[in-house]
Homo-oligomer: A and B are copies of this chain.
Amino acid sequence: MRTEKDKNIPYKVYLDESEMPTSWYNVRADMKTKPAPLLNPGTMEPMKAEELAGVFCEELIAQELDDDTRDYPIPQEILDFYKMYRPSPLVRAYWLEEKLQTPAKIYYKFEVTNTSGSHKLNSATAQAYYAKKQGLKGVTTETGAGQWGTALSMACAYLDLDCLVYMVKVSYEQKPFRREVMRTYGATVTASPSDTTEIGRKILAENPGTTGSLGCAISEAVEAELVRDGYKYVLGSVLNQVLLHQSVIGLETQTALRKIGVEPDIIIGCAGGGSNLGGLISPFMGEKLRGEKDYRFIAVEPASCPSFTRGQFAYDFADTGKVCPLAKMYTLGSGFIPSANHAGGLRYHGMSPILSQLYHDGYMEAVAVEQTSVFEAAELFARCEGILPAPESSHAIRVAIDEALKCKETGEEKTIVFGLTGTGYFDMVAYEQFNNGSMNDYIPTDEELAKYAATLPPQPAE
């Protein structure tokens, strides 16, 4: 399908290091309706910087609360670290196009040229840097599937910062390789719930056989930070600051597309807490918000955890343990536990407040897809493009393929860009189930969703 016109477009577009973005882009600056502020669940008033300072680093709080500054210069030390794995390539999926016999032009931003196996490093580096700059000794965090924990471990190893990771016990046991990668980078990895915290001991006493949950691991990581001098807690998704750091994905994509003279029509990303989707689309969304360009943005979520497509737009707790502030977002209710879906990174009940507001205001679409069709897309992609994608990223692949097949029917030569933000090396248990035909997916019923929606906290007065 590589036409004469395509001859000038290589398989991979690499930027020079001199073309890397030197500022992050804050999409909030261009939003007419800003994302709703975080609320203190006790007072129902917007959280102030002083209140957040007990948990988060100062500079990161400033970024979290800043709806106005459009461009944030990236500190030189972070720029240098980024050169360990950035710029990342923008790849033209010539083989996938050929396989699908589609007139669509498909590109993907391949973010997985680093050992952590995902895009998470873009924010982990920044958060570790600001912790170091504030003179801290270390950071604490939780990790589920392990991508965030690995990324943070790498950043801390580089900056010589202590790193305490609470890893959901079921993952700690079922993903020993992830655990050992973190240890190789020098992190202290503890299965959660553990006997190292009050809350952990309490949960263990009540449920001796529990395999843990992300909500519990968050509570332990926050407690571990509070009882230690010189430690702060960090988080890898959902927050505004994370989307700010991840904008480096979209900025590089924009530069690469301009370099080859290509205008995208549709931009697609998978959505769990929103960190990769938000990062990829931010600068393009900015153009749309400013009325300069028009693009279709599609968020793809698992049918087993459909925050955008079947959730409520309301204030809710960001964590299951209800220790975090309230955020206004698309949510299934903080008590919602998705079925055992292998795309661990997408199993979050809520969604980035920024993306939630943009979706609510009609700037973005969302679709939910089933796991088996996601793995069909993953296998097809692996066989013709060579890369074994993570289950999370494969959600975006599924919809990119669907859109390309629509073009085949209509004959339209649309340009599709999607984010490929993870590799599947640590997800082979899921692939094995798919290979064996034993994979299934569970889609929650309306009744189940209504039950959890009824647990939303009281909403603030309008």
Verify if A387 is at the interface (C-beta below 8 Å from B).
Answer: yes
Complexed CA–CA distance, A382 and B83 (Å): 15
A72 at the interface (CB under 8 A from B): no
Q: Is B115 a contact partner of A423 (Cβ separation < 8 A)?
A: yes
From the candidates B10, B84, B185, name the one contacting A16 in the complex (CB within 8 A).
B10
A406 within 8 A of B: no
- Answer yes or no: A12 CB below 8 A from chain B CBs: yes
Binary interface profile of A, 58-87, with partner B (CB < 8 Å = 1, else 0)?
Answer: 000000000000000000000000011100
Q: Among the listed B11, B154, B383, which residue makes an inter-chain contact with A158, where contact means beta carbons less than 8 Å apart? A: B383
Q: Which chain B residues lie closer than 8 Å to A434 at the CB level? A: 184
Residues in B with CB closer than 8 Å to A11 are 17, 83-84
| Interface presence of A431 (CB below 8 A) | yes
The 8 Å CB contact of A382, one of B185, B388, B431, is: B185
The answer to whether A176 touches B432 (Cβ under 8 A) is: yes
Closest partner residue, chain B, to A117 (CB atom): B425
* Chain A 353-384 near chain B by CB (<8 Å), digits 1 or 0: 00000000000000000000000000100111
Q: Identify the interface centre among A117, A177, A184, A426: most chain B CB within 10 Å of its CB.
A: A184
Residues of B contacting A85 in the complex (Cβ-Cβ under 8 angstroms):
386
- Minimal Cβ-Cβ distance residue in B for A115: B388
Q: Is A95 an interface residue (CB 8 A)?
A: yes
Cβ-based interface call for A385 (8 A): yes
- Sample (24) of A-B pairs whose CB atoms are under 8 Å apart: A10-B16, A10-B17, A10-B83, A11-B83, A12-B17, A12-B83, A84-B95, A84-B386, A95-B158, A115-B382, A115-B388, A158-B386, A176-B428, A176-B432, A177-B425, A180-B431, A180-B432, A180-B435, A184-B379, A184-B382, A184-B388, A186-B383, A425-B425, A425-B426
Q: Is the CB of B115 within 8 A of A184?
A: no
Interchain nearest-CB distance for A118 vs B (Å): 13
Q: Which residue of B lies closest to A178 (CB)?
A: B428
* A14 interfacial by beta-carbon distance below 8 Å: yes
Q: Is the CB of B184 within 8 A of A435?
A: yes
- Residues of chain A in range 145-183 having any CB-CB distance to chain B below 8 Å: 154, 157-158, 176-177, 180-181, 183
Contact of A383 among B12, B157, B423 (CB under 8 A): B157
A184 to B157, CA, bound (A): 34
- Interface bin, chain A: 35 or more
Give chain B residues whose Cβ lies under 8 Å from the Cβ of A40. Answer: none
CB-CB under 8 A from A435, the residues of chain B are: 180, 183-184
- By the criterion CB–CB under 8 Å, are B431 and A184 in contact? yes
Q: How many copies does the complex hold?
A: 2
* A309 located at the interface, meaning its Cβ lies under 8 Å from any Cβ of chain B in the complex: no
A113 in contact with B115 (CB, 8 Å): no
Alpha-carbon gap, A158 to B385, bound state (A): 8
What are the interface flags for A4-28 relative to B under an 8 Å C-beta threshold, 1 for contact and 0 otherwise? 0000001110101100000000000
| A255, CB-defined interface residue at 8 Å | no
Q: When chains A and B are docked, how far (Å) is the Cα of A379 from the Cα of B183?
A: 10
**Cα–Cα distance between A2 and B335 once the two chains are bound (Å):** 51
Tell me if A415 is interfacial: C-beta within 8 Å of chain B: no
Q: Does A190 contact B (CB under 8 A)?
A: no
Do B181 and A428 have beta carbons less than 8 Å apart?
yes
Q: Does A254 have its Cβ within 8 Å of any Cβ on chain B? A: no
Q: A12-B83, A379-B184, A423-B115 are in contact. Are A158 and B384 (CB under 8 A)?
A: yes
A435 CA to B431 CA, complexed, in Å: 28
Instruction: Evaluate whether A180 and B83 lie within 8 angstroms (CB atoms) in the complex, with A14-B14, A386-B154 already known.
Output: no
* A278 to B: closest C-beta gap in Å: 24
Nearest B residue to A433 by beta-carbon distance?
B180
A10–B385 Cα gap in the complex (Å)? 28
A386 touches B184 (CB 8 A): no
Complex contact A386–B115 (CB within 8 A): yes
Question: Is A197 part of the binding interface, using a Cβ–Cβ cutoff of 8 Å?
Answer: no
**How many Å from the CB of A117 to the closest CB on chain B?**
8
Q: Closest CB of chain B to A166's CB: distance in Å?
A: 18
What residue in chain B is nearest A423 (Cβ atoms)?
B115
Contact of A428 among B157, B177, B383, B386 (CB under 8 A): B177
